[in-house]
Structure 1
Amino acid sequence: MKNWITRLLIYIALFYNLLLGANDAAANQLSDVYVQQLNTIPGMEKLAIADNIFKENRRDDFRRFREIIKGAEKLEGLFTLYRAKDSGAIYWEIKPEQLNKNYLGIVTLESGVGESGLYSGLPLQDFLFYFQRVNNNLHFVIRNVKFRTEPGQPEERSLARSFSDSVLYAVNIVCIDPYSKNLIIDINDLLMQDFPGLTPLLKYFLQTEYQLEESKSYLGDVNSFPFNLEVDSIYGFSSPEGANLITLPDSRALTLKVHYSFSQLRENNGYIPRLADDRVGYFITAFQDFSGNHSKEPFVRYINRWHLELSDPNAALSPPKKPIVFWIENAVPLEYRDAVREGVLMWNKAFEKVGFQNAIEVRQMPDDADWHPADVRYNTIRWFNSLDAGFARGPMRVNPFTGEILDADIIVDANMVRSLQQDYHTLIEANSDDLYSTSIYAKSRVKMNQPYATGIHKSRVENRETWSNDSDFYYSMESSFQAAMGALTLSLVQDAIPSSDQMKKYVHQYLRSLIAHEVGHTLGLRHNFHGSTMLAPGELNDTQITHTKGLVGSVMDYLPVNIAPQGVQQGDYFPAVIGPYDEWAIEYGYKRYSNLMVEAMTPVTEKPFLEQIALASPQPELSYATDEDISDINPLANIWDMSSDVLVYSQWQMDNARMMWQRLDKGSPLRAEGYGDLRLLFNRILNYYFRNATLLTQYIGGQSFRRHHALDQTHAHFVPVPLEKQRQVLTNFNEYVFDKNAFSFSPHLLNQLAPSRFSHWGNPIPIYRLDYPIHERILYIQSVILRSLLSGDRLNRLRDIELKTLPGESLTIPELFDTLQKDIWTEVFTSESHMSISSIRRSLQREHLNILLSMVLRKTYVPEDGRTIAWYELRQLHKAINAGVKQHSGNLDIYTLAHLEESSDRITKALNAQLLSY
């Protein structure tokens, strides 16, 4: 008994001195005494831990651990941290039971530079990770969740050998608590290197090499909570030459703040994954299943959704046990908070239809909040400023095993609304003077659901990249452009100034709709580019319809501003309620399956229940087409279009554009502003005209496509556009794009189009002609449309459709070629007494001739039927030109005569060259 007490007292004294700060000499002396006692006193089971400590010779760990905790601030939570008061060093303690356990990591760019893709609040990456001890190193490992099998099956051994996890970092273990066996690492070793991979991102976005400077980098706020750890890291970068960054005082040095959230992964919380269906647009968590179930489909796909449970499952309408709560960041301007709140709460209508009362709540972040907007515990709507961004995004983070949404943060650039409220024509393209930068044809260069532009960081949670991509940029430009066009219409038609109540109401509608779209993403929904086609053109401005059924079938479309045609009372500019498709999609994702006969609920158990919901997909208002469905084939699966008859809608908007040009020409309140503004407004209206004209190209050779599962005559996957509709489109192209009177501007207006002459940072003078290049602008519009109509892909589709329809029911290649040629060369094919071809028409005719010559000379790809028809059309044109020149030779101006003779000569040479090549 005496020996046991003596030994215990020595043990307590030793640890008291080591843990509370005895000097090294005293600690070593006590250690020596303790070791001597071990040699003379029999070991006892209760003191086995203490014996092992010194048998393993861990006295250095005793001293190091004592040095770390002496006087340090202890931050307890999911992980315990020690912050040294003198040095500021922070040590991270990992318990043995926390090794090899799954955690969620979220990395956010907390502060950027405000331009060139580096914006505050952008998600950088998120991943599932675990800690693994290997000798004296702690490995930070990203878990591979792409391949799975049932637990306990032999396939588990094969998967472990076949597919690797990713060990991102290995950090040195500073010491091990001899008593608890907790591992201690220096957090700097992990987070003060380029953990988020900013160096390659800077190189990509800024096209300049930047290096991380250790001396300029440091840790900011660190907070440990029961279920998450929040850390700010500030990274200093430098470059000898620097990038061309306007927002920095000196671009040779920049600082970026990154926020980290490391949280415990929610497991065994009763959440049941829900199987995906391609008729309903949800983001998906997919994995390859190697279980021996012999399914024809190797992938299992779960939709991403929140874990919502009814408080009272038996009630017709019940609050959720835990609602989805969005916090409006305290940086959001006061005048916009109501619109933000309304945009979020619009979705409660859909949840009420599946039994949830107030499924979503909105709260205001206090000005003195002690939490961070990037904290994984809070879903936030954040506000940031930039020089050139102008976008909003709604990313989410999910459990990669189940698809459960864990966190969501919407970010909105102030440019999206500031330009409308304060200065409606100061947008991101304000210094741009060309159609190329904001052309709707940018969408043809951007595959909106393809990997993001950087190709560097992929999300380990959603298995898709989370950095900003090109589609964000083009979407933001177009969204801002559409909003500006609505504001411009208000100003030109209704003389509304930026500070008027009308303009404030307009901005409110726009922001509310924008937020509703982004919230839809955070609920798990993908884009639905069929959503804008629900109403007929005549219904778009009937508020009795749009306030009940909705302006569109889905707010998840890319929606243009709804501008009423002339003579029609203006309705809603943007949706005031979500659409029928949105309600149906929420039903599929969140309606509770309550089958009392089923004891163990599984994703497979729910499948018949979900199939019954999905069977409604053929209903027109539930039509669905997402990013990968966008192509030149379907005129109703498009972006920035409106109504079930885009042909009528686009004609309305081009008529509106012509009216706005007249107002600019005749004078309006806007004319009192700077002369550079008039050029900007003229160009913006021209862009709007162009966008609406290009919407019509998809009708030619177009086919509607639906995601039906039923294979019958009623639900055909592809339905060609009726021949009459295609012919009407060609008529509209002639009237609005190709006709000699399509673009008619007074000399007075054209002579007023001077550019701004202010030149300073943020407002450089672009390099373009000082006077307005009207011929170039018009020819660009005509050329883009004409080349699209005569593209090889379109001609191939036209040829294929002839086999998919009855004779005489499809537009043929010869009819397309002949119609365009006669519309473009009208002066040649008509017998006018005096033939004179304007300069705009001559440019168009040369472009048409260039296209046909390239086909005949095999300089561009077209199907052989297209090439031979081009050869035939050239011969007809050659005959008509020669006949016209002969008939009117004495009445032709020199421009027209030279143009026709040169065109005839080119055709002759091309036809001869073609003959000689055989």
Structure 2
Amino acid sequence: MRFCYSALLWLLTTSLFAQPNAPAASPTIASFTKDMDKRAGFLTFYWDAKKGKIWLEIDRFGQEMLYYPTLAQGVGSNDIGLDRGRLGAEHVVKFERSGNKVLLIEPNYGYRALSRDSLERRAVAESFAQSVHAGFEIAAEDGQRVLVDLTPFLMQDAVGAVQAIAQTRQGSFRVDASRCAMYLPHTKAFPQNTEFETTITLTGDSPGQYLRQVVPTPTAVTMRQHHSFVELPPLDGSYQPRLFDPRAGLNNIEFFDYATPVSQPIIKRYIVRHRLAKKDPTAAISDPVKPIIYYMDPGAPEPIRQALIEGTSWWNQAFEAAGYRNAFQVKLLPADADPMDIRYNLIQWVHRSTRGWSYGMSIVDPRTGEILKGKVTLGSLRVRQDYLIAQGLTARFENNSADTAALMPMALARLRQLAAHEVGHTLGLPHNYIASTVNRSSVMDYPHPLVGILANNKLTLDSAYATGIGAWDKVAITYGYQDFPKGTNEKAALDKLIDDYVKKGLKFLSDQDARPEGSAHPDTHLWDGQADATDELARTLAIRRIALDQFDARKIPVGMPMATLEEVLVPMYMFHRYQTEAASKVVGGVLYSYALRGDGQVVAEPVPAARQRKAIDALVATLQPRILALPKGILSLIPPRAFGIDANPREVFKRHTGLTFDPMGPPEAAANLTLRLLLNPERCARLLNQKAMDSAMPGFSDLLTSLINVTFEPMRRNAGEARTYDEAIQQLTSRRLLESLIALASDKEADGRVRSVAHDAIQHIRYKYLTQRSTDAPFNYVVSDTSPNQLLWLIQQYERNPQQPAVANTPLAAPDGAPIDPGYDWLDCEKE
């Protein structure tokens, strides 16, 4: 028994104090990957063909790099916006190890301390959250090198395609992992970047119309998404960030700098630009240390490709003005070059099912604002829209010949300007929407074709688009890229550059001053032309009248279905749409600049009263039947669509008449445009305010009086002439004005005074025009308080329930106009 107890005691003691077995040592990277395909580069990885996995070798712990996703193969719908080449957001990331785990961490560069004091920097870093993008288990290691499975990270919807489809109401989709895989042809490692591409499939039910148009089986949307890891330049002072100035016309990054003295602004802003330096900074003109080179997609066909190369090359003129020789170059992408390589700035030719936007985007170092790569996406169908506009203006397709000599030159001239515009965004320039008022001084404006009127009412396209870089563009490039000799006071030199351009009459105003319909600057617009918006509206209407009067079957080639005339008619009838928008901003407008204290620029002052009244008269005139009516000869030319040739609903007029062309559709669309612009609630509030400040200025009531007079006053008829079409148009504009006033009076977000004046105008219309019998009344029936008159009914419904006013019918919207020129671009400047 003693032996047994001793044996038991020995067993217990051994069990209590025995060390646990040591974990099995991690395999070496070499043994783990011995049968895999190794790709060495910035980040080395291994392709495991048996398991379909990517194994990433990490040896750069703590080293910051740039990560960003891209949509490599798009969906093909401009409306959804999932285009080939679409860039996601950039993220500065680094790998950090903790035990057997590796985290991919994004530091928070929105909040920093530009200080040499490590404790001061740490205090800021620990005050704001970071982001961990992924965590990985270590599968193998050799010394400081570890191996992780990157595949789950790569198989995500990195570009937000699910959200984009949902936001455009195209259905509820999700990633189907069983239908996702690596795409090896575009999974590569380069010296400065490593690239991964995946085939991602989204599945869902009830796909919307846009998806059904472009996806063969719209319940399964397959695309390719791309992941880029890019080496960041060292923060060694070789690149010097340049401070941002709102007057300079360059995009910027911004961040909080908590090391800033209390007496100075805590927000720091750097302009966005490529790295460029002179070989000889003391020389007035010098070759660059390294030129900026852009590469053209060889997939663009001729003669389009050459036009794009020529337009892009214009930028060398701006760099010459900044003191460089051959600093900006354009080349065709070599056959052995890979467009994914970070070293290649790329101009990409992209196809969609409909005309759509073009983009100029950049990969930017968020720490400094340095542009690492420019990427331009040009939609291939845009040139066809420009050709169509030229066709409607000047083409004459006779039986055996066609007068089309001016069509393709205009379309190619537009492409040159478009290429220059989008590349300008990738150089750091935002839009300059006031440039059209200063002799078309910037390619960063949106240009409407400048059509000339010759003798015998012949239209000419000889000067439709400007050639070469603009005077403003040279100023902006000089501000961003000029290399100053050592010892130069850079801020003083840059301030002088701005002072000089102001003295020359050049101007800069951008998106926030032009895009909203209610914006206030009278000279800052998209797709307008010339210095005075109202004068140009009159000229544009004259061009429109000539185009409509000369519009006939010869606008399409022999053998084309007659119904396709409507696609040519749309841009001719709506030719005045953008100049109408431009002139509307004169009304209640304010002249201002991006002034800094002491720089001598105009700060803010109202547009003179005479100029505003002139604009009101011109805009109200666009509601007259003589402007809105289609020539009757056109109405007999457009039949219902031919069998097998459907219309794109975006390219034709909306209608209430089903298959047949609706002669009231175009007038309703054009009238809605003018009324929507003039009765913008913000514009109406500005009119009230300016009248209160100065009784000599036009007020909101003055505008309403003009609108009511043109729409409700009796038409004057010539003896014995019946004008029923014109009468129907006037009835339409009367109804649309009343509905617009009811909507304005019911708008909870509008200024209370605006709602009150709109209500008074409704009552004025009721008692002056709808409750009396008069042979001069604009309607062909007797009305009274109890009449079933639709207008009276609308007012009665408004009075009974002003929060939910009735409308006679949903107004017909105009067909899509944009993009006839550069479109949306990307409002985050470095993404343009």
Q: TM-score range by the shorter chain?
A: 0.7 to 0.9
Provide the C-alpha distance between the structure 2 equivalents of 1:574 and 1:332, rounded to a whole number of angstroms: 21
Tell me the SS of whatever aligns to 1:151: coil
Q: Are residues 407 and 758 of structure 1, via their aligned partners in 2, closer, same or farther at CA, if it must alter by over 3 Å? A: farther
Deviation at residue 800 of structure 1 after TM alignment = 1.9
- Corresponding residue of 2:288: 320
The 5 Å alignment of 1:810-821 reads 810-821=697-708
Aligned residue number for residue 421 of structure 2: 517
Alignment of 1:376-775 (within 5 A): 376-417=342-383, 419=384, 480=385, 484-491=388-395, 501-535=405-439, 552-567=440-455, 570-596=461-487, 606-619=490-503, 621-630=505-514, 631=516, 632-665=519-552, 670=557, 673-710=560-597, 715-735=601-621, 737-759=622-644, 769-775=658-664
**Distance between the aligned counterparts of 1:494 and 1:710, measured in 2?**
62
Q: Which moved more, 1:777-786 or 1:162-171?
A: 777-786
SS of aligned partner of 1:827: coil
Distance in 2 separating the partners of 1:829 and 1:85 = 83
Specify the SS of the correspondent of 2:691.
Answer: helix
1:138, 1:173 within 8 Å by CA — same for their partners in 2? yes
Partners of 1:486 and 1:563 within 8 A in 2: no
Q: How far is the alpha carbon of 1:184 from its aligned partner?
A: 0.9
- Tell me which residue corresponds to 2:62: 100
Query: Is 1:249 paired with 2:133?
Result: no
CA distance in 1, matches of 2:344, 2:196: 15
Give the aligned partner of residue 545 of structure 1. none
Residues 117 and 389, structure 1, Cα contact 8 Å, conserved in 2:
no
CA distance change for structure 1 residues 380 and 840 in 2, over 3 Å: closer, same or farther?
same
> Any residues of structure 2 matched to 1:846-885 within 5 Å, and which?
846-851=735-740, 861=750, 863-864=752-753, 867=756, 871=760, 874-875=763-764, 878-879=767-768, 885=773
**3-state DSSP class of the match of 1:171?**
strand
- Measured against aligned partners, the alpha-carbon deviations of 1:484-538 in whole angstroms (never above 9, x if no partner) come to 3234313159999899553332222111100000111011011111111113xxx
Residues 388, 568 of structure 2: 8 Å contact kept: no
Amino acid at match of 2:124: L
Judge conservation of contact 1:486–1:573 (CA < 8 Å) in 2.
Answer: no
* Partner residue, 1:364: 332
| Partner amino acid, structure 1, of 2:427 | L
Tell me if structure 2 keeps the 8 A contact 1:529–1:637. Answer: yes
Q: CA deviation at 1:348?
A: 1.0
> What amino acid is the match of 1:554?
S
Whether the 8 Å CA contact 2:398–2:554 is kept in 1: the answer is no
Deviation at 1:202, TM superposition (A): 4.4
Equivalent residues in 2 for 1:6-25, closer than 5 Å: none
Q: State the distance in 1 between where 2:688 and 2:504 align.
A: 28
**CA–CA separation in structure 2 for the residues paired with 1:793 and 1:247:** 39
**Match status 1:796 vs 2:699:** no
| 1:310 matches 2:198 | no
1:168 paired with 2:168, answer no
**Contact 1:83 1:90 (8 Å CA) reproduced:** yes
Structure ranking higher in helix proportion: 1
Query: What secondary structure, in the 3-state scheme, does the structure 2 residue paired with 1:245 have?
Result: helix
Question: d(CA) in 2 for partners of 1:873 and 1:285?
Answer: 49
Rounded Cα–Cα distance in structure 2 between residues aligned with 1:223 and 1:59: 33
Pick closer, same or farther for the CA change 1:756–1:374 going to 2, 3 Å.
farther
Task: Tell me, in whole angstroms, the C-alpha distance in 2 between the residues paired with 1:483 and 1:281.
Answer: 31
Deviations 1:13-34 (A, max 9, x none): xxxxxxxxxxxxxxxxxxxxxx
C-alpha spacing 1:819/1:250, structure 2 compared with 1 (3 Å): closer
Q: 1:570 to 1:112 in 2, by over 3 A?
A: closer
1:77 to 7, 20, 41: 41
Distance 1:127 1:487, change over 3 A: farther
| TM-superposed deviation, 1:215 | 5.2
Q: CA deviation at 1:724?
A: 2.1
Secondary structure of 2:126 counterpart: helix
Deviation of 1:845 (Å): 2.2
- Equivalent pair of 2:171/2:204 in contact (CA under 8 Å): no
Alpha-carbon offset, residue 347 of structure 1: 0.9
1:738 is paired with a residue whose SS is coil
1:276 maps to which of 233, 244, 247: 244
Are the equivalent residues in 1 in contact too, given 2:783–2:789 (CA < 8 A)? no
Provide the residue aligned with 2:666 in structure 1.
777
CA drift of 1:356 comes to 0.6
Instruction: Summarize the Cα distance change of 1:826–1:184 in structure 2 as closer, same or farther, 3 Å threshold.
Output: same
Q: Which amino acid aligns with 1:725?
A: R
Q: Is the 8 A contact 1:392 1:411 kept in 2?
A: yes
CA deviation string 1:397-433 (max 9, x = no partner): 111111111111111121122x2xxxxxxxxxxxxxx
**Aligned pairs for 1:145-224 within 5 A:** 145-149=109-113, 150-177=115-142, 180-205=143-168, 206-214=170-178, 216-221=180-185, 222-224=187-189
- Structure 2 distance, partners of 1:252, 1:491, is 43
Query: Which residue of the partner structure matches residue 46 of structure 1?
Result: none
Deviates more, 1:836-845 or 1:856-865: 856-865
Write the distance in 1 (CA, Å) between the matches of 2:225 and 2:444. 30
Matches of 1:143 and 1:355, distance apart in 2: 38
Distance 1:684 1:104, change over 3 A: same
| Amino acid in structure 2 at the alignment position of 1:251 | P
Structure 2 SS opposite 1:878: helix
In 1, Cα distance between the equivalents of 2:761 and 2:160? 58
Specify whether residues 758 and 152 from structure 1 end up closer, same or farther in structure 2 by C-alpha distance, changes over 3 A only. farther
Count of aligned pairs: 763
Q: Say whether the 8 Å CA contact 2:397–2:558 is kept in structure 1.
A: no
Identity of matched residues, %: 23
Between 824-833 and 186-195, the greater mean CA deviation after superposition: 824-833
Displacement of 1:653 in angstroms is 1.8
Kindly indicate whether structure 1 or structure 2 has the higher relative contact order, using CA contacts under 8 Å at least 6 residues apart: 2
Call closer, same or farther: CA 1:74–1:717 in 2, change over 3 Å.
same
Residue among 180, 192, 207 paired with 1:227: 192
Flag structure 2 segments of 5+ consecutive residues without an equivalent. Answer: 1-19, 803-832
TM-score by length of 2: 0.83
Confirm or deny: 8 A CA contact 1:261 1:376 kept in the other structure: no
Partner of 1:460: none
RMSD (Å) for aligned C-alpha atoms: 3.8
CA drift at 1:200: 3.8
- Aligned partners of 1:196, 1:308: CA distance in 2, in Å? 31
Other-structure match for 1:446: none
Distance 1:562 1:61, change over 3 A: same
Decide which structure has the larger Cα Rg and report it: 1
Determine the structure 2 residue equivalent to 1:346: 314
User: Could you tell me whether the CA contact under 8 Å between 1:326 and 1:378 is conserved in 2?
Assistant: yes
**Contact 2:319-2:477 within 8 A present in 1 as well:** yes
Which amino acid letter does the alignment assign opposite residue 659 of structure 1? I
Indicate how the Cα distance of structure 1 residues 710 and 565 shifts in structure 2: closer, same or farther if over 3 A, else same: farther
2:470 and 2:330 map into 1 onto residues whose CA distance is 21
Q: Distance in 1 between matches of 2:664 and 2:535?
A: 28
Q: 1:353 to 1:88 in 2, by over 3 A?
A: same
**Inter-partner Cα distance in structure 1 for 2:794 and 2:167:** 48
Which of 838, 841, 854 is matched with 2:730 structurally?
841
Q: Quote the Cα distance in structure 2 between the aligned partners of 1:283 and 1:620.
A: 23
